[in-house]
Amino acid sequence: MKHIATELREHIPFTALGAISGIIILVIMVRLNVLASVSLTVFYILHPLHVVLSAMVTSALYRKYGNGKIWAVVLVGYFGSIGIATISDSLIPYLGEVLLDLPNREIHLGFIEEWQIVNPAAILGIALSFWKPTTKFPHFGHVFISTWASAFHVIMALGATISWVIVLSIFVFLFLAVWLPCCLSDIIFPLLFTRKGLPLHDT
């Protein structure tokens, strides 16, 4: 638990930076009056990218500290990316939309609505972890791509205008949508299936 608390604490500044970038994108999109259909298209591009990067990091860490069996790497990489990316990009943003009573709220589940893209994306990320088992750059990209996917999920639910209270509230949800799930999928989830300790700041 001390290890997990340290990792979560160390990721706060970086995650906050990602959330700020998401808010900037959100405000620009609202100012430009971007259609919800465009935001949905962008979401369906960012979400699979998120899954690829998440699967890369989760699989690479498990390969490094786990038992090395291919079937185990595939299972950990798949469920660690698909499951947690859904929580991050869809479920937590939708919860925020409900609590803020946004007018056009609707949940979008990538692994169901674009299963033919998201599932291969997870397999691609797992395969890349065998070819190049790196974690630092994919984890960096994972945080930002996840934030932007969550932001576009929220953009689809917004009306024509938004207040600064709504913007600040969305910042909180973007932060939580990335901070907990991304640390969970990239660090904590693969660690649960290993017998070795994971050094701090490995990602």
Q: What is the pLDDT of residues 105-139, one digit of tens each?
A: 888 888 888 889 999 999 999 999 887 766 565 56
Q: Where are the domains of the chain?
A: 2-191
Q: Which of 1-5, 60-64, 111-115, 123-127 has the highest mean pLDDT?
A: 123-127
Cα–Cα distance, 133 to 62 (Å, whole number): 10
Q: Is the pLDDT of residue 35 over 70?
A: no
Which amino acid makes up residue 174?
A: L
DSSP state of 106: -
Look up residue 106 and give its two tokens. 């609707």
Q: Tell me the average pLDDT of the chain.
A: 81
Q: Which of 65-69, 133-137, 199-203 has the highest mean pLDDT?
A: 65-69
Is 193 exposed, middle or buried, given 0-12, 13-18 or 19+ CB atoms closer than 10 A? middle
Cα–Cα distance, 114 to 5 (Å, whole number): 35
Which amino acid makes up residue 180?
A: L
Whether 142 and 186 have beta carbons less than 8 Å apart is answered as yes
Q: How many Cβ atoms from other residues are within 10 Å of residue 196's Cβ?
A: 10
Q: Is the pLDDT of residue 201 over 60?
A: no
Higher confidence at residue 134 or residue 38?
38
Cβ neighbors of 4 (< 8 A, separation 6 or more) are 183, 187, 188
Lowest-pLDDT choice from 69-78, 86-95, 175-184: 175-184
Q: What is the pLDDT of residues 155-195, one digit of tens each?
A: 888 865 677 888 898 999 889 888 877 766 666 776 676 65
Higher confidence at residue 30 or residue 175?
175
User: What one-character-per-residue DSSP string does 8-76 give?
Assistant: HHHTHHHHHHHHHHHHHHHHHHHHTT--HHHHHHHHHHHHHHHHHHHHHHHHHHHHHHS---HHHHHHH
Higher confidence at residue 52 or residue 142?
52
